[in-house]
Amino acid sequence: MAYYAIGIGGTGAKCIESLIHLCAAGLMPEPAREQAKELHVMFVDPDQGNGTLDRAQRVLQEYSTCRRVAAGGIDLFKTPVTVAVPDVWSPFAQETDPKLEDFYEHNTLESTTPNVAHLFDVLFSHQERDTPLGKGFRGHPAIGAAVLADTVDFGSVEPWMTLRSKVAQDAQSGEQAKIILFGSIFGGTGASGLPTIARLIKKELAKSKVTANYEISAVTMLPYFSFEQKNDDEMRAQAENFLINTQAALKYYARPYYLDVFDSLYVLGDHVLSPLGPSLRKLRDSGDQIDPKGGKDQLNEPHFLELYAALAAIDFFKAVSAKGVNMIARKEKGVHAWYDVPPVFRRTELLDKLDQLTRFAFAYDCTYFPTLESIATRGRPFRAPWYLNLFEGDDFVELSESLKNELLKMRDYIRDFLAWEASLQSTAKEVEMQLFNINTFAIKTTIDAKETYVLRNPDGFLVEEFANLLLPKGTQNPFALSNLWERMSDAKIDDVQARGVGRFINVLYQQCKTERYFESPTFGKEDSHAQ
Amino acid sequence: MKYVRDISSIILIAGVMVLFNVFVTAPYLYDVVSGAPSKIERWLETYKGWSIYLTGTSLVSALLWYVLSQWFFKLNYWAKSGKRPVWSLLIAPPLLVTAIGIVLTPAAKEGMWLVYFFYFVSALIPYYLGTALFSPSSFKYAPVGSQLLRRWW
Amino acid sequence: MVATSRRKMIGICDLPTLKRLFTFFLFLVWGVVLTSCSKQVTWPPPPLHSAEFLEDKSIQIQADIYYDATLSMQGFTKPGIATAYAQVLNELEGSITSGWASSVVRFYRFGTKIKELKGRDHLLAITPKFFTDKELLQETLMSTVIDSAKTQHLTVIVTDLFLNNADVTQLVNKLRDKFLARGFAVGIIGVQSEFAGTVYDVGINRDQFEYAGQRPFYVLAVGKHRDIENFYLTLQARILNRLSDTHFLLLSSYFSSAMPTFENGQITLKTDIDEVENIFPHDVIDHRVEQLRIKSKHQSSQIGFSLSRTSLRYAMALNPSAIETELSMRMVGSVNGKDSLVLCDNAAELLTVNGFGLTDSSLQFMLSFNNNENLSEGVYVIQQVVRPKPHVDLMPTWISDWDMDITKLPSWKADTKDFDGQKTLNLKKFAFEMWQTIIQTQSPEILHLFYYLRKE
């Protein structure tokens, strides 16, 4: 069985990003690395300059590089993730400045089939026909549906060809293929892409005589964010139209004809629309104002609901023909905590793994990477016994080279991971989030009159809080990071699959494991799920 | 328990050093040293006494190093790792007591260089082996040469 | 999977700890070979001999006081009862009774024969009529006194000790046979007293001279050294201190209150030789013995000592030129499977003692080991005995001063006023022969020490 994830539009890309982070934490269904099934990822977005897409692509690339480190049988990066080629498919791949009327060759229609041309004029306003679509469908799903239906070609266009053949191969070999699509229901690309692409996939597989051993699911995101509106004449997504669009879309999905496409459907939303600010990553570059029409300016911060979307995907991957309608809700209106998270896993497993990866990232960024840099430049390796044991032992590692390659990529990934967590904690400003103790590695700042969080410099991390990186805080142990160093100094590795830098990664990841949630007196007893 | 084991081992090393001085080096020096200002046996009692003081000082330094590195030096900040200068500084008390011992030990006409050598051995070996073999994990390679000793096993 | 540490629990230690401790113990292995395993030879201290101990004064005393009742003594009584003679005689009994807790005193007078003085008759000894017993007047036969004296008693003889050569010899022989040979001592208290009378038996022709003036008489005491000393000290305190010219000489084999040993001694010099303590068996202490060690590589060795001594008052005054040292060396060897001492013939070329110094409170000397290469490895027992040389005059000056120069007899005959009545005939001869006799019979020792030497 293989997993397929298609992110449609900017929201789809953010969901994919969250899913990748959960893959990094080892939360995909298979218990062990050698049993891990491949996750095949692709993006559908006419707006290839989408900043959110950039971020997802970057995280994917970092993930792939980090996974190539032979870190043994640990859960970290255990899932092999393959990216479609090309990783982003746009219906306007060949077009530089596509417009709908150009796409349908309106001028030709007027001369050859004027009736069709007139129908076209009725269905689409002049603005809709004339607006460049290079940055997406501008919150007009009708445009998107029309374009996508005409451009998705499983026969001659990549990555659709490969998708079809891989799914068909899985299905025909008896392996069950699971395909999940992510997209928003209120925007342009996602709203148009989700049902359209799903239907096209199903039709194509039927043509290939593949009717069993595969499932299609979708995570549709209801409105959960808003942004500052620019008042001009340009066609753009309108935040105030999100709910109306959502209502219309849900009516569409409610019809059996359209719902039957999916084997399961996840619908996620929040009653509070979080105003989005500039993403953490962007802040390292410049302070551009968000422009909701898309492009590089569409750098929407990660939102906790995307974590839910990723959990939904894992639930789909894990579930064996799930039936019925399940609903989730928050226990308290203005608060969001871990007990509100749906029980995709045993509760402790999700938190254990996230905590472990968070500790790993924290320790790596503030302690271990700087130590390795110091050793590479100033020597004196005796300062770090774990370095001597793991880097200069039987499997000698050329440190300065590793610092330019694997170790650097790992640091890039874990900083993106920490930034993602900081965003999850801070984005939903109308809700008191109790997920991550981000003050330990991020600091609140104001950019363009908007409050946001930036990652601290590694030497500014609040190291005394290392034991409490997830909320709620547990037992205080201000020397937990020091204790980690001590355990690292003693740690030996007998995982023969771990080699080179992977030995260090393996050991550090293992030593970051915690089981504190077993000890938590309150956690595990709260069950906010209503049937 | 780990620290109980380590501290016990450090004390054991010092104890063995004392026994070594009393039962091995003292009889050896009996044959080597000549021209002592008093009877050889009494002179050797002085030697034994000083060697015990030196080993005791060495033990105190080794235990102090252990206590500091196990319970006081915290490595929440990686830049505070290493502590080799502290380890080096803690050699000073045994060396100082060695110097005092050398000065206060009545000189014999022959064999005194060997006596001084054993003084240094009494002062340095318990400290060195106690710290090189049994330093707490975070600082186990702070003692010079401990990388070879501890990684060898 | 990662293990925090490899743990194989063995009791309370895990394998890494045991390995680390093993590393340490490897360091010890090389040290074990440093020590040799050979068994060291030991030898016990030498036996004690009684001559080393000066017996304390008797707890109770029986004293026999003999008064010379011949006419030569009458002159001491004629000046009256205030003379030194009278005063001394009056204190003799008291010196005995007060000098001991328990005492019995008997008095005798002698001349040709001995008669006991009963009751208070001895009080008449200071009067001229004491010397009118014709049975005693003729000769002063001190030899009879010696014959009748009891060795367990303190014998006190009051006489002018005016002896001719034959008398000296006879008396000395008598004293030798009965007392000196048994280790007893002789004390000579000399007192100058007023005299007015006749001095008889001067010279071989037994001339006599009328003399008035100071003339010495003597209180001889024969017995144990400490008894004689105590008698003298008591007499001195009671009367002699008030008299102008008195002297005392104690002839015995003792020179110091205890034989000097290495206890409280000091090493004044040490060259290529070591003091050790392991030649004796374990925990044995004997301050007479100095344990030493010499190594093969040293050609010669020297060690100098300064030992404490407390010289006895009134004993013979010693000087370094009047003493001689006897050294003997024996090697501990195995004879018929048993350890025993074998005499070394070459001791004289291997050992010398020199640099001898002697004062009332200390004694210094240096022991030299020459030609150590001729000394084979092993344990040696060396005995050092220091004795006064025979035939050396160690008499105090008063003996010479009080000794009569008989060569002046013709001048005295020519003019009797020149007669030197303050002197005693053959006093020096008597004292010297007494001393020689003590040397011959008692072999007095100034020092008796041992050295146990281990040659490696």
Q: Is B138 in contact with A466 (Cβ distance < 8 A)?
A: no
Q: Is C23 in contact with B153 (Cβ distance < 8 A)?
A: yes
Percent of chain B clearing pLDDT 70 (strictly above): 98
- How many alpha carbons fall within 13 Å on the CB side of residue A478? 1
Contacts of C8 in chain A (CB under 8 A): none
For residues C6 and C15, is the Cβ–Cβ distance under 8 A?
A: yes
Q: ipTM value, please give it.
A: 0.91
C53: confidence class by pLDDT, cuts 50, 70, 90: confident
pLDDT at residue C6 in the model: 37
Instruction: Determine which of A370-374, B53-57, C404-408 has the lowest per-residue pLDDT on average.
Output: C404-408
Q: With 90 as the cut, is the pLDDT of residue A14 above it?
A: yes
Q: With 60 as the cut, is the pLDDT of residue A296 above it?
A: no
**In this complex, is the C-beta atom of C37 within 8 Å of any C-beta atom belonging to chain A?**
no
Q: With 70 as the cut, is the pLDDT of residue C445 above it?
A: yes
**In this complex, is the C-beta atom of C31 within 8 Å of any C-beta atom belonging to chain B?**
yes
A42: confidence class by pLDDT, cuts 50, 70, 90: very high
Using CA coordinates, name the residue in chain C closest to B12.
C21
C407 or A322, higher pLDDT: C407
Using CA coordinates, name the residue in chain C closest to B27.
C35
- Full set of structural domains in chain C with CATH: 60-255+394-425 (no CATH), 261-308+318-390+446-455 (2.60.40)
Contacts of C5 in chain A (CB under 8 A): 490-492
Give the residue among C143, C1, C171, C142 at the shortest CA–CA distance from C69. C142
Q: With 70 as the cut, is the pLDDT of residue A391 above it?
A: yes
**In this complex, is the C-beta atom of A380 within 8 Å of any C-beta atom belonging to chain B?**
yes
Token match 């089939």: residue? A113
Give A148's contacts (C-beta < 8 A, 6+ positions apart): A44, A91, A192, A193, A196, A197, A200
Contacts of C4 in chain A (CB under 8 A): 487, 490-492
Question: Taken in order A90, A94, A95, A98, is the CA torsion positive or negative?
Answer: negative
Q: Is A486 in contact with B75 (Cβ distance < 8 A)?
A: yes
Q: Is C1 in contact with A73 (Cβ distance < 8 A)?
A: yes
- Structure confidence by residue, pLDDT tens digits, C226-260: 999 999 999 999 999 999 999 999 999 998 888 89
Angle between helices B112-134 and B2-20 (to 10 degrees): 170
Q: Is B40 in contact with C13 (Cβ distance < 8 A)?
A: no
Q: Is C5 in contact with A490 (Cβ distance < 8 A)?
A: yes
**In this complex, is the C-beta atom of C281 within 8 Å of any C-beta atom belonging to chain B?**
no
Contacts of A395 in chain B (CB under 8 A): none
Question: Taken in order A513, A518, A519, A524, is the CA torsion positive or negative?
Answer: positive
C-alpha distances in Å from residue A18, one per residue of A10, A60, A312, A419, C419? 13, 11, 11, 12, 147
Question: What is d(CA B87, CA C395) in angstroms, rounded to the nearest whole number?
Answer: 78
- How many alpha carbons fall within 13 Å on the CB side of residue C59? 0
Using CA coordinates, name the residue in chain A closest to B75.
A482
For an interface test with C, which of B34, B110, B133 has the most C Cβ atoms less than 10 Å from its Cβ? B34
**In this complex, is the C-beta atom of C24 within 8 Å of any C-beta atom belonging to chain B?**
yes
Of B28, B42, B149, the CB nearest to C23: B149
Q: Is A485 in contact with B136 (Cβ distance < 8 A)?
A: no
- How many alpha carbons fall within 13 Å on the CB side of residue A332? 12
Beta bridge partners of A99: A132
Of A371, A374, A489, the CB nearest to B138: A489
Question: What is d(CA A207, CA A164) in angstroms, rounded to the nearest whole number?
Answer: 11
Question: What is d(CA C191, CA C243) in angstroms, rounded to the nearest whole number?
Answer: 8
For an interface test with C, which of B21, B23, B30 has the most C Cβ atoms less than 10 Å from its Cβ? B30
Burial pattern A483-521, b for ≥16 Cβ within 10 A else e, equals bbbbbbbbbebebeebbbbbbbbbbbbbbbebebbeebe
Report the pLDDT averaged over residues A331-342.
86
Give A72's contacts (C-beta < 8 A, 6+ positions apart): A33, A493, A495, A496, A497, A498, A502, A503, A506
Q: With 60 as the cut, is the pLDDT of residue A32 above it?
A: yes
**In this complex, is the C-beta atom of C8 within 8 Å of any C-beta atom belonging to chain A?**
no
Question: What is d(CA A271, CA A49) in angstroms, rounded to the nearest whole number?
Answer: 30
C-alpha distances in Å from residue C319, one per residue of A235, C113, C260, C442? 138, 42, 16, 19
Percent of chain A clearing pLDDT 90 (strictly above): 35
Neighbours of chain C (3+ CB pairs under 8 A): A, B
Q: With 80 as the cut, is the pLDDT of residue A319 above it?
A: no
Return the amino acid letter for B96. L
Instruction: Determine which of A85-89, A388-392, C51-55 has the lowest per-residue pLDDT on average.
Output: C51-55
Q: Is C20 in contact with B134 (Cβ distance < 8 A)?
A: yes
C-alpha distances in Å from residue A374, one per residue of A344, B78, B79? 42, 10, 9
Q: With 80 as the cut, is the pLDDT of residue A336 above it?
A: yes
pLDDT at residue C221 in the model: 96
Q: Is C24 in contact with B133 (Cβ distance < 8 A)?
A: yes
Token match 């690309």: residue? A189
Mean pLDDT of chain A: 81
- Structure confidence by residue, pLDDT tens digits, A58-85: 999 999 999 999 888 899 999 999 999 8
C291: confidence class by pLDDT, cuts 50, 70, 90: very high
Report the pLDDT averaged over residues C7-12.
38
Question: What is d(CA C323, CA A487) in angstroms, rounded to the nearest whole number?
Answer: 85
pLDDT at residue C7 in the model: 38
- Which residues in C78-206 belong to E strands, given as ranges? 102-110, 114-117, 154-159, 185-202
pLDDT at residue A276 in the model: 65
- Structure confidence by residue, pLDDT tens digits, A216-253: 999 999 888 776 655 555 555 566 666 777 777 777 77
Report the pLDDT averaged over residues A360-376.
96
B101 or A290, higher pLDDT: B101
- Structure confidence by residue, pLDDT tens digits, C426-436: 999 999 999 99
Using CA coordinates, name the residue in chain B closest to C274.
B35
Contacts of A371 in chain B (CB under 8 A): 78, 81
**In this complex, is the C-beta atom of C417 within 8 Å of any C-beta atom belonging to chain A?**
no
Question: What is d(CA C35, CA C156) in angstroms, rounded to the nearest whole number?
Answer: 67
Q: Is C4 in contact with A487 (Cβ distance < 8 A)?
A: yes
Q: With 70 as the cut, is the pLDDT of residue C309 above it?
A: yes
What is the model's pTM? 0.76
